[in-house]
Structure 1
C-alpha cells in the first residue's frame, strides 16, 4: 500500500471514530438533593417503606458516587459544589461560578451554554432562587451571601425562561425586579399553573419555601413545580436545560431534624418519579439525579419498621466530605466510572466526554 492510500485510509478511520461519538443531549434535566447522602436515602426508605431501594431514583440504570472537595477545603459548601457541577471548575467555598482561586473572571455555566445553543432554560428550587445552588447555574459572584447582586444578575442578564422558588426581600428580590425585567409572575400554586409565555417567574413567600412537614399552604410541591416547568420548557423545538433542587433536605440536616429531613426526601423522590413519568421513553433527554454534599454526618443505626423513625446518630450540624450518589438515565458522551468527581457532572450536562 503506497503512502497516499495509507494516509487516506487513516483519515477515514479517524472520521469513523468521530462518528461513533453521540451528539450532545437535546434536553437536560439535573435534579439535586441538597445535603442528600447515602444515609439520608437509607433513613427515608426505612421510614417510608420499611426496606431500602424504593425511592424514585434508585433504579436508574447508571449509578455511582461523587467526590466533592472544593478548591479551599476537603469539605465543600453548596456554592463551591454547585459551581463544580455548573462550570466544571473547582472554586473556594462561598464562591459562585467565578475563577477564585484564579483571576476572578466568570466561568460560563452549563445553563448558559445551553442558552447559547438557542435552548430554553429553567430553575426550580425549594430554596430562595438566589441561594447558592441555583445561583451557581445562573449568576457569578465572589460571595454566595450577596443575594441582591445575584438576583439583579439573574433577572437582568442571565434571564432563564422559567424561575420557580422562594423569593422576597430575604432573597434580595425587589418586588418590581421580575416585572421590570419582563417576567410574568405568580405567587401561589394557582397562579403558577396559569403562567404561560417565554419568561415566567413564581416566587413563593419571603425566603425559602416551607418544610413539607409544616405544610405548604397555597404553595405547590416540588413535583408540581417541576412538571409545570417542563410543560413550559418543552415547547422549545431546540430543547431545554432544567435544574431542579430539593433544597430543604440540607436545612433539616443542619438542624439534625430527622422527621423534616425524611419528608423533604420523600418530596424530592416524588419529584423524580413525576419527572421520570413525564420523560417516559424519550431518548432525547438526559436525566441526572445527584446531591451537592452530605450534611449532618448521618448514620442509620437501627430499622424500626415502616412508619417509625429509624434510630440514627448525627456527628455534626455542618457538611461532611463523604462521597454522595449520582444516578443517570440517558446517554452521556463516553464511559461513566463508578466514582466520579463533581466537575465531571458538568461534562455530562454539556455533552462532553469526561476529562
Structure 2
C-alpha cells in the first residue's frame, strides 16, 4: 500500500511539471520504408505524400532483439513499451524472464487513462507487449489475464479472439462488439473499462466490406473523444496489425490499403490535436516484413514497381527483415524522436517527455 501511495504522489507531482500531457503511439506492424513508399505511390502517384511523412521530426530506428538481429513483434513491442531488450517471443519480460513495467502501467499509476487499439486480436504480440507479462507470445490465456489484471487499460479494443466475455466482465470490463455500440458509448470515460471485442479473429481488411465491426480510424476517433475527458491526460496505442499480415503473404495490394487505414487513423489524431500544445504523437513500426523494395511509380491506383526480397519460410510466408524502420513525430517534445534511434528509445524518451521517470525508477527498483 505504501508503494502505491508514493507512486500516486509522484504521479501528481510529475504531471504538474511534465510538458506532455497526452502521448499517442501509432504502430504499423511490419511497416518499413518500402510499405510507406508503396502506399504513397498507390494513393497519390508519388512517395512522401502520406500525412505522417510531413511531420517535422523524423527518425531512423533499429529493431534488433536481445536474441536475434531480426526481431519478432513480441520482443519489439516489449522494447518500445518497456525500454528493455528481450528474447523473441517474450512479452513484457526482460531477457532473464523478469516482469518489467510497461508504459501503460506507468501511465495508469500516474493517474492517466489508457487505451490499446488494434486491428488484430487484443492478445496479439503488439498490444500484449504494451500491457501484459508472459514468457511466450502464444500463451494467450496468460496474456489475456495479464492484460485484464495488470495494465487494465480503460479501453481494450480489437478482435475478440481468446477473450472470454464473462471473464472480462468479472475483471470489471463492460463489453461492446459492434460499431454502433461503440459509437453510442458516452464520451465521459470516468473510471470505466471497456473491452471492444469486435469480429472473430481480426477486423475486416481495409479493402474489403466493413461489416459490423469498426475500422481502426473509427476506433481511434472514439477513443480520443473518451480518453480526452481525463484531466490528467492519457496514453493511447493504435496498432495497424494487418500491414504485417499482408506483407508476410507478399500481398502488396492489401498492404497499401492497410497502410492507408493507418494513415486515416493518424488523420483523426491530427484533427483532434489541432490547436493543442500538450500532446505528443509518434508514428513508427515494430519491424519491417518481407524486405520490400519499391521502384518507380506507375501512377495513382496502380501498384508501383516492387520486389519482396526476404526468403520464404517453410509455411510459404515471407519473414521479417532486420531493416531499420521510420519514426515520425509531431507535437510537444517531438524533437526528441529525430535522428538515429533504437526501439528502446521510444520508451525512454516518451516517459521523459511525460515526466514519469521517477515512477519508472520506483517500479523497476527490485529488478
1:314 equivalent to 2:308? Answer yes
Corresponding residue SS for 1:225: helix
Alignment of 1:228-267 (within 5 A): 228-267=222-261
Aligned to 1:12: none
- How far is the alpha carbon of 1:209 from its aligned partner? 1.5
Greater displacement, 230-239 / 208-217: 208-217
- How far is the alpha carbon of 1:25 from its aligned partner? 1.6
The CA distance in 1 between the partners of 2:326 and 2:335, in whole Å, is 19
1:164 equivalent to 2:165? Answer no
Contact kept, 8 Å, 1:186 with 1:195, in 2: the verdict is no
- How far is the alpha carbon of 1:331 from its aligned partner? 2.9
Decide which structure has the larger Cα Rg and report it: 1
The CA distance in 1 between the partners of 2:20 and 2:258, in whole Å, is 29
Alignment of 1:274-285 (within 5 A): 274-285=268-279
The CA distance in 1 between the partners of 2:202 and 2:349, in whole Å, is 29
Corresponding residue SS for 2:129: helix
The CA distance in 2 between the partners of 1:60 and 1:232, in whole Å, is 25
- How far is the alpha carbon of 1:301 from its aligned partner? 2.6
Aligned to 2:9: none
The CA distance in 1 between the partners of 2:163 and 2:155, in whole Å, is 16
- Structure 2: segments with no counterpart, 5+ residues: 1-16, 311-317, 358-367
Corresponding residue SS for 1:48: helix
Greater displacement, 334-343 / 311-320: 334-343
Alignment of 1:1-355 (within 5 A): 23-100=18-95, 102=96, 104-167=97-160, 171-196=161-186, 197=189, 198-316=192-310, 317-332=318-333, 335-351=336-352
Contact kept, 8 Å, 2:131 with 2:150, in 1: the verdict is no
The CA distance in 2 between the partners of 1:207 and 1:61, in whole Å, is 37
**TM-score under structure 1 normalisation?**
0.89
Contact kept, 8 Å, 2:116 with 2:155, in 1: the verdict is yes
Contact kept, 8 Å, 1:333 with 1:348, in 2: the verdict is no
The CA distance in 1 between the partners of 2:177 and 2:78, in whole Å, is 28
**What is the number of residues matched between the two proteins?**
328
Which string of whole-angstrom CA distances, capped at 9 and with x for unpartnered residues, describes residues 60-82 of structure 1?
11102100000000000100111
The CA distance in 1 between the partners of 2:208 and 2:335, in whole Å, is 44
- Structure 1: segments with no counterpart, 5+ residues: 1-21
Corresponding residue SS for 2:54: coil
Contact kept, 8 Å, 1:45 with 1:54, in 2: the verdict is yes
Which string of whole-angstrom CA distances, capped at 9 and with x for unpartnered residues, describes residues 213-244 of structure 1?
22221111111100111111111111100000
The runs of 4+ residues in structure 1 deviating greater than 4 Å are 333-337
Q: Kindly report the root-mean-square deviation, in angstroms, between the aligned alpha carbons of the 2 structures.
A: 1.6
